[in-house]
Amino acid sequence: MTYNNVLSESANGVCTITVNRPSKLNALNTETISELHEAFKAADQDDQVKVIIVTGSGEKAFVAGADIAEFADFSVSEGEKLASSGQARLFDFVANLSTPVIAAVNGFALGGGLELAMAAHFRLASDNARMGLPEVSLGVIPGYGGTQRLPQLVGKGRAMEMIMTAGMIKADKALEYGLVNHVTSQEDLIPKCHEIAGKIMTNSSVAIAAAITAINSNYEAGENGYDTEITEFGKCFGTADFKEGTQAFLEKRKALFPGK
Ligand code: COA
């Protein structure tokens, strides 16, 4: 499928989804959010895709935020709808995919851009990356999950400071905060993501999906993550991947997971 603002390319088990509006620093307008939803959905449904990498086009930006020009005239109800539909169609959707999603933060990740990176399962950044939630400088707050996911990742005090100051942090500070897992040079960013994807792909995709569900459960209101873990753990025992994984161990060979 072809999109106006998104590129999606799959090879060797990895689907790379690129936000492609470089003239607007890849800002997320409604069309881009819709196209990203479709691209993530298609990648998640493709049995050949074991890992998704999301990144931004060009050398300057991952995503410089929601498209400010698009929402500048919105009313209270339009603002609320923008946040709720965006969360449902893209940010929560990505966070809850069964396929692992790695964000390759290759430049500015601001506002909705950092929120997209935080919705991914984990993040790598290149050394030119700058991250922040500058919404209060526009008279609004983060609306795509930022007030929830930033404190989950960096702690409440650091999130409060980042959101209140509307400032940007550099890649090394993001690493220190635990917001990103690795920092690389610009040229090494995507290869490093592929290296990690390669390690993920040797494991059971069914068990990885169960682990994502169990980990995310801790952050869902009204859910008990320990109970979810028990249920997901039990379900693994009924999978072909579990049979292959345990059998391969006992036979002292490498597991070849069917992904079922
Ligand atoms: N929404 C809409 N357009 C955006 C955008 C956004 N979030 N971020 C950047 N752009 C557009 C600029 O308007 C400009 O378009 P133009 O050339 O048609 O005027 C183009 O992208 C390039 O941006 P520019 O500001 O000229 O680049 P810069 O290098 O001087 O500054 C930033 C880079 C990221 C510091 C600056 O673009 C910025 O502050 N963006 C907004 C960040 C933000 O507040 N995001 C949260 C939104 S809720």
Distances from the Cα of 87 to the Cαs of 52, 79, 84, 119, in angstroms?
A: 19, 12, 5, 10
Single-letter amino acid, residue 231 = T
Per-residue pLDDT at 138: 97
Per-residue pLDDT at 211: 98
User: Active-site residue numbers?
Assistant: 115, 135
Q: Which two tokens stand for residue 91?
A: 């940010």
CA 238 / ligand 1 centre spacing (Å): 50
Cβ–Cβ contacts within 10 Å for residue 134, how many?
19
* Closest ligand 1 atom number to CA of residue 166: 44
Instruction: Say how far apart CA 66 and CA 133 lie, in whole Å.
Output: 11
Per-residue pLDDT at 1: 81
CA 110 / ligand 1 centre spacing (Å): 10
Provide the terminal-to-terminal Cα distance of the chain, rounded to the nearest Å.
Answer: 26
CA 31 / ligand 1 centre spacing (Å): 18
Per-residue pLDDT at 56: 98
SS3 164: helix
pLDDT tens digits for the chain (260 residues)? 899 999 999 999 999 999 999 999 999 999 999 999 999 999 999 999 999 999 999 999 999 999 999 999 999 999 999 999 999 999 999 999 999 999 999 999 999 999 999 999 999 999 999 999 999 999 999 999 999 999 999 999 999 999 999 999 999 999 999 999 999 999 999 999 999 999 999 999 999 999 999 999 999 989 999 999 999 999 999 999 999 999 999 999 999 999 99
Instruction: Say how far apart CA 52 and CA 140 lie, in whole Å.
Output: 31
Pocket of ligand 1 (CB under 6 A): 24-25, 27, 64-69, 108, 110-111, 134-135, 138
* Closest ligand 1 atom number to CA of residue 110: 45
Cβ burial of 58 (10 Å; 0-12, 13-18, 19+) is: middle
> Residue with the nearest Cα to atom 15 of ligand 1?
24
Based on DSSP, count helices (H) and strands (E) in the chain, helices before strands: 12, 10
